[in-house]
Chains A and B, each alone.
Chain A
Amino acid sequence: MIGFATRRLIQAMIVMLVVALLAFTMFRFVGDPINQMVGIETSIEEREALRERLGLNDPIPVQFLRFVTNAAQFDFGTSYQFRQPVSELFAKRIPATLELSFTSALFALVVGIPMGIYAGLNRESPISKFFLSVSLIGISLPTFFIGILLIFLFSVTLQWLPSFGRGDTVQIGSWWTTGFLTISGLKALILPSVTLGLYQMTLIMRLIRAEMLEVIRTDYIKFARARGLPNRLVNFRHALKNTLVPVITITGLQLGAIIAFATITETVFNWPGMGLMFLQAVQNVDIPIMSAYLLLTAFLFVAINFIVDILYFYIDPRLRVGRP
């Protein structure tokens, strides 16, 4: 077990380094940050002086080394556009993104699992067919389109829900802000989390349905039924439990995806999270924010993968037997 974890940790470090290198090289091609930091009438000499102060004239290996050394100490520098430390900016934006991701993951699970079970058990029923068609929409429509559609329907036409932002937030502790405790905060959560969670919901639903169909055909289910166990017990105790292993893996990985790729949903709903900040940073060539975001995203995926691997170890006894 410890050997397994160590191997995984070393792999994770390598992944992080590669991402850092990729991020660093990529940002040399997004444009010149200086133009975004000064007004258009600023003279060439002043631009050069600023470039020198920022260390943009140093050789590239020197810049990369400085970047990695600082990043290893969680120092991502100062944002070019906001002129505040990047780590502080991220700390302010993280609660918004996490609350949104958490709510949409919850939505995906709470809605997706029952739908999947139902569709798996009653594969011929019209409702199942309806679920499947809906899920097709969820998978095939792009996020921003769904978002705009929802805004148009529920905000502009019906005026039930807000079209942008987090509503009123409450400060908890020194840096966490939550929208869970106010009515406007909760209302503001609905549209974005549905938009963000729709894809995951359909994915979970289809996965559970497929797994259920497979498990139901196995001998032990037939045997359980032959034993005269009630349907409820067979379906939920025996069948569902055995469909969960792949579902946990997918859910774990998808949670990473939700957090990392909330960017588009955050932009459509002007949700003040990390994704929105990242997109603005790209437009303004704010390299410190962009690189920090990429590293953070990579870190998230690596960490979730690691946790899922370990969880797997506990859920699936077969894995334990085969290893030292």
Chain B
Amino acid sequence: MNKKTLIFTALLAAGTGAAAQAETFKFAFQGSLNGLDPYSLNETFTLSSLGNAYEGLTRRGADLAIEPALAERWEIIEPNRWRFYLRKGVKFHNGNDFTAEDVAFSVDRVRSEGSDLTTRVPADAKVEIVDDHTVDFVLTGPNPILNYEWDTFYIMDKEWTTENDAVKVTSASDTTPNYSSLNANGTGPFKIVSHEAGVKTVYEKNDGWWDEIKHNVDTVEFTPIPSDATRVAALLSGELDMVYPIPVQDIKRINDNAGTVALTGPELRTIFLGMDQMRDELLYSDVKGKNPFKDEKVRKAFYQAIDIEAIKNKVMRDLATPSAIMISPFLFSKSSEFERYPYDPENAKKLLSEAGYADGFTVGMDCPNDLYVNDEAICQAVAAMLARVNIKIDLNAQPKAKYFAKVLASGGFDTSFYLLGWTPGSLDSWNVLSNLMSCRTEAGEGSPFNLGGFCDEKIDKLTGEVLVEIDPEKRDGLIAEAYKISHDNAYYIPLHQQGLAWGVADNVELVQRADNQFKFRFINKN
């Protein structure tokens, strides 16, 4: 064999090697991708998955910073008028051009009946098309966070949607399946080539994507695997490249196994305890004629009776960050100003006896058992800790379907003491203030997820100011003020930011975003 043939053979080998390297990336998640209509369900996994095929005017990077996507740039030309300059030369997967018409159409559709994302664009905002690639949003008042949730407000093709009779948003009350629920046509880095709900979804690389392609996979296969043990086994056996979430107790096993590693990091979700502070008598307690939670001392006693480090170490196996405020420290610049009340059962007992409950009391606690990481175990730990200061907890842990039916507005806020988690969809504090901390009526008008129903007019006033304050520094000051009131009064007992745990094969590099969204454009498989 002479040199020439040797080189030729080597080249040939290299050539076939590259050709055979059509990389397929397989992963599993605990839930399923139910439908492909981007406006049907405001839920992290659905939006995360569809965000690989669809794109918004903006997107968020690996560090969650807002980046331009379908809009190249934008500016506030008048206080109430935002101008978006759209990217030119972008095509949908079916070859149609992306224009201002599509943006106007998507805004109408996302605000129409049946959409679960109606709040993405304010109801009274108007869209004005300036030219094919310029759009104005005209608001009725200043709104500093207009585009904060637009990374998950996906732009659809007007022509495609109209042609396929899918202008109406897929709703659960429909009797015939909507075309957009079974097919997708976005501008994103991946096309959805097949989708069988609850079984398998296959994505293929979009070669005509407008941005530089940094990933190296050609096909992505998604399988929903609801059972934890099966999901972990599928990763350990090497059949899958990535599974999430993984149970915290399996992290060590995955790390010990050759070829897999557990990727952990903080999630934006804050887990906290809330108390009924609205009713004059608790629904589930042996204290009659009054509501102990209306007494700030009792709330602080509960707060200080909880050994947060023990929950972090024992229950969460260190996959949690104790928290002093109701939002992730990543999302609020002044979060370092806050500190938890120290764990001090003696002081808790003292506070309780000052409040007139020296012998303690009994209270019922509601807890989900399939919603957050080790949710039921956290509640059990809390119950055991409170028992040490003579508070007896009747724990009622149930699946999320039953839990939500009981504690949310539709169940009449039927709870005295509960555990809940919250991630602000806009990644901004105003969402927390308006959903969790403002006053509400008995029916839930106002702040619907303030399940305990406490009402502090100062927080209400600040919430209103935060909504329209444009200056970032001033705005953060107002937010800090509101959080401080909540902290000083112990309206809530924040516990921790729960952690994310993904199981990944060693030969795969990817980005674990703190909002638990999984973006295929960051994948590199070696």
Residues of A bordering B, CB below 8 Å: 30-44, 46-47, 49-50, 53-54, 77-78, 80-85, 88-89, 92, 148, 151-152, 155-156, 159, 162-165, 267-270, 272, 276-277, 279-280, 283-285
Q: Which residues of A contact B404 (CB under 8 A)?
A: 31-32, 35
> B42 to A156, Cβ gap below 8 A?
no
> A42 to B233, Cβ gap below 8 A?
no
> A44 to B225, Cβ gap below 8 A?
no
Smallest Cβ distance from B112 to chain A, in angstroms?
12
Known: A39-B43, A46-B118, A53-B171. A82 touches B197 (CB 8 A): yes
> B402 to A31, Cβ gap below 8 A?
yes
Give the docked Cα–Cα distance between A80 and B40 (Å): 11
Q: Closest residue of chain B to A148, judged by CB?
A: B229
> A283 to B399, Cβ gap below 8 A?
yes
Give the docked Cα–Cα distance between A14 and B140 (Å): 62
Sample of 4 further A-B pairs with CB below 8 A, known A37-B172, A44-B410, A283-B399? A32-B411, A81-B32, A151-B233, A162-B239
Smallest Cβ distance from B366 to chain A, in angstroms?
13
Question: Among the interface residues B40, B404, B449, which one has the most CB atoms of the partner chain A within 10 A?
Answer: B404
Known: A83-B35, A151-B230. A35 touches B239 (CB 8 A): no
Q: Which residues of A contact B408 (CB under 8 A)?
A: 35
Q: Which 7 A-B pairs have the closest CB atoms?
A: A39-B42, A31-B401, A32-B405, A53-B173, A35-B404, A31-B402, A155-B237
Q: Which residues of A contact B409 (CB under 8 A)?
A: 44, 47
Give the docked Cα–Cα distance between A81 and B41 (Å): 10
Residues B154-172 near A (CB distance < 8 A):
170-172
> A39 to B444, Cβ gap below 8 A?
no
> A30 to B401, Cβ gap below 8 A?
yes
> B42 to A42, Cβ gap below 8 A?
yes
Q: Which residues of A contact B175 (CB under 8 A)?
A: 77-78, 85
> B174 to A78, Cβ gap below 8 A?
yes
Known: A38-B42, A39-B116, A41-B119. A82 touches B198 (CB 8 A): yes
At the interface, yes or no: B473 with Cβ under 8 Å from chain A? no
Please list 23 pairs of residues, one from A and one from B, whose beta carbons are closer than 8 Å in the complex, sorted by A's number: A31-B402, A33-B401, A37-B41, A37-B172, A39-B116, A40-B42, A40-B449, A41-B425, A47-B409, A47-B410, A53-B173, A78-B172, A83-B34, A83-B35, A83-B40, A84-B182, A151-B229, A152-B233, A164-B234, A270-B230, A272-B196, A280-B198, A283-B399
At the interface, yes or no: B429 with Cβ under 8 Å from chain A? no
Total interface residues on B, CB under 8 Å, equals 60
> B236 to A156, Cβ gap below 8 A?
yes
Select one of B230, B236, B405, B435 contacting A268, CB under 8 A.
B230
> A270 to B227, Cβ gap below 8 A?
yes
Q: Which residues of B contact A78 (CB under 8 A)?
A: 172-175, 177
Residues B85-117 near A (CB distance < 8 A):
113, 116-117
> A164 to B401, Cβ gap below 8 A?
no
Q: Which residues of A contact B444 (CB under 8 A)?
A: 44
Select one of B172, B196, B237, B445 contacting A54, CB under 8 A.
B172
At the interface, yes or no: B61 with Cβ under 8 Å from chain A? no
Known: A35-B410, A83-B170, A85-B175. A164 touches B34 (CB 8 A): no
Give the docked Cα–Cα distance between A276 and B404 (Å): 23
Smallest Cβ distance from A202 to chain B, in angstroms?
24
Q: Which residues of A contact B117 (CB under 8 A)?
A: 39
Known: A31-B405, A159-B237, A268-B230. A44 touches B445 (CB 8 A): yes
Give the docked Cα–Cα distance between A50 and B118 (Å): 14
Residues B473-524 near A (CB distance < 8 A):
none
> A84 to B226, Cβ gap below 8 A?
no
> B42 to A270, Cβ gap below 8 A?
no
Known: A32-B404, A41-B435. A50 touches B173 (CB 8 A): yes
At the interface, yes or no: B125 with Cβ under 8 Å from chain A? no
Known: A32-B405, A54-B173, A155-B233. A164 touches B35 (CB 8 A): no
> B116 to A38, Cβ gap below 8 A?
yes
